[in-house]
Structure 1
Amino acid sequence: MIIEKIKKIMPKVVKAPLKHLHACATYDPWFERSWSQEGEDQILRRIFKRREVGFYVDVGAHHPKRFSNTYLFYKRGWHGINIDAMPGSMKLFDNARPRDINLEMGIGSNAGNLDYYVFNEPALNGFSKELSEKRHEADTTDQVREVIKVDVRPLSQVLDCHLSSGQEIDFMSVDVEGLDFDVLKSNDWSRYRPKFVLAEILGSSLHEIEQTEIGQFMHDQNYMLYAKCMNTVFFKDSLLKWKTTPTGAAP
């Protein structure tokens, strides 16, 4: 019966692989599904393999599932804080992820408001004028539709208001299209120290990361380079007494 179903599915997969990807996965025990853009959630899954519950902070969360580094963990029973500046973005989060704290706001070095560049591709939205204009000029498909004012607050203030007393952060994911450094600087690292921090450093090779402003800043906060995807870099709290299992995963 299963073999016959696979035979029916496979020709369709060749023509439309994305549409039938889930159907194929049903019959492939080796398939690992990822919601992240570069497989970040699979690295995190390995790190937190034995953790049934945990807490995350996602800055620049974008969408409850699409390009999400946290959705895999939400499905496992974790919860956390999702933050995104895109107007209307948190309606989707409130519906799809009611256990989470979902905040529609921007994160910046200081409280105030900033120009927010809205693209026809929402994943590119952000506060960086330089990066937004470069993308707008380089690609006729990815265009800025409008520029609006959005309120921003430092990350430390947001965590002061919304993080429960004593709550540890297992990992924090930051992806705000060019201004990750500003977000990281706005945290109070003496009070809020995620075990792992994910940040985007575009176009940097492994030997260049520690020389970037983010790499140097995280080193100064006693975080060490731990892993890397194409653009996303993982930093681990070097002050953390982190025990691992024989497979290298967290207990």
Structure 2
Amino acid sequence: MKQLEDKIKKIKRLQEIKKIVTTNSRPSFHNLDRKIEKYLNYDNGFFIEAGANNGYTQSNTFYYEYKRNWKGILIEPVLHNYKMCEYLRINSKVYNCALVSSSYQEKSIKMRYAGLMTIVDGALKSKKNDDFQIQKALKYENIEKSFDFEVEARTLNSILDECNVQKIDLLSLDVEGYEAQVLDGLDFNKYRPKFILIEARFKEEIEKIILPYYKLIEVLTNNWDHLYAAKWNGKLP
């Protein structure tokens, strides 16, 4: 009986996913998945999306998974979003954690829930800036209330080691001001994504870390979303 119930649940899940894909396979904000496709116009790639939300809303990788046969890793700190990622993204490995720098010593990290604008506590450099972000989310995302929570802290390197990742075509990073810390947790001599798409709040901090390995090739949206291409021996691939 349980096997039959599980089979029915699986069929229902696949039907729901198929309906979503058929309705709109490109949910990316500002058409980012379309804008990067001229650089990533091929099948069977591998992605990492940090700040994956629910796996669909504003996802930069949903299209690649279901229309270009990519596989990848999704990283999402908010528990209910993580569970949705697991449900919707059948070809992705999903982690419920927050990414941190290589120097971060604690096992967990404090975060403040704000829907798509959820932040690491202190990520925006001051409590005033953090509070402004929270209030903006409450207003524009129709969120009833914010709340603080703690989640496991991991470096991106540790996850890639665990998954035995061999190549990365795209790293999509949308972590609301914590980008430099996340990038500091990645050894670019060991793992060098072909392209990195970053919502860059603190561009100088980010480029201090990645410019020895990457070149900015395009600003995709109003000075926010930046696409960087990896350099090998000082040259673009």
TM-score, with length taken from structure 1: 0.73
Asked whether 1:189 is paired with 2:188, we answer: yes
Q: How far has the Cα of 1:34 moved from its partner?
A: 3.4
Secondary structure class of the residue paired with 2:38: helix
Aligned to 1:124: 117
Question: How far 1:145 moved relative to its partner?
Answer: 1.6
3-state DSSP of counterpart to 2:211: helix
1:113 aligns with one of 92, 108, 114: 108
SS of the residue corresponding to residue 210 of structure 2 reads helix
Is residue 2:233 matched to residue 1:234? no
Q: Which moved more, 1:34-43 or 1:189-198?
A: 34-43
Identity between Structure 1 and Structure 2 (%): 23
Corresponding residue of 2:179: 180
Match of 2:12 in 1: none
Q: Which runs of 5+ in 1 are unaligned?
A: 1-24, 27-31, 244-251
Q: Which amino acid aligns with 1:149?
A: E
Query: Could you tell me whether the CA contact under 8 Å between 1:64 and 1:96 is conserved in 2?
Result: yes
Match of 1:56 in 2: 47
Matched residue pairs, number? 201
Cα pair distance change 1:60/1:136, threshold 3 Å: closer
Quote the residue 1:225 is aligned against. Answer: 216
Partner residue, 2:163: 162
- State the shift of 1:62 in Å: 0.8
Q: Which amino acid aligns with 2:99?
A: I
2-structure distance, mates of 1:60, 1:66: 11
Task: Tell me by how many angstroms 1:242 deviates.
Answer: 5.8
Q: Which runs of 5+ in 2 are unaligned?
A: 1-21
From the superposition, tell whether residues 97 and 136 of structure 1 become closer, same or farther in structure 2 (CA, over 3 Å): closer
Deviation at 1:36, TM superposition (A): 1.2
Aligned equivalent of 2:76: 84
Q: TM-score, normalised by structure 2?
A: 0.77
* Structure 1 residues 58 and 137: alpha-carbon distance in aligned structure 2, compared to 1, 3 A threshold: closer
RMSD: 2.4
> Whose Rg is larger?
1
Q: Are 1:44 and 2:36 counterparts?
A: yes
SS in 1 for 2:29: coil
Query: 2:150 maps to what in 1?
Result: 149
* Deviation of the 1:141 alpha carbon: 1.4
Distance 1:170 1:147 in 2: 34
Please state how far the C-alpha of 1:137 moved relative to its aligned partner.
4.8
Q: Which residues of 2 match residues 62-101 of structure 1 at below 5 A?
A: 62-75=53-66, 76-101=68-93
Instruction: Assess if the C-alpha contact under 8 Å between 2:96 and 2:152 holds in 1.
Output: no
Give 3-state SS (helix, strand or coil) of 1:134's partner. helix
The structural deviation recorded for 1:33 is: 6.8
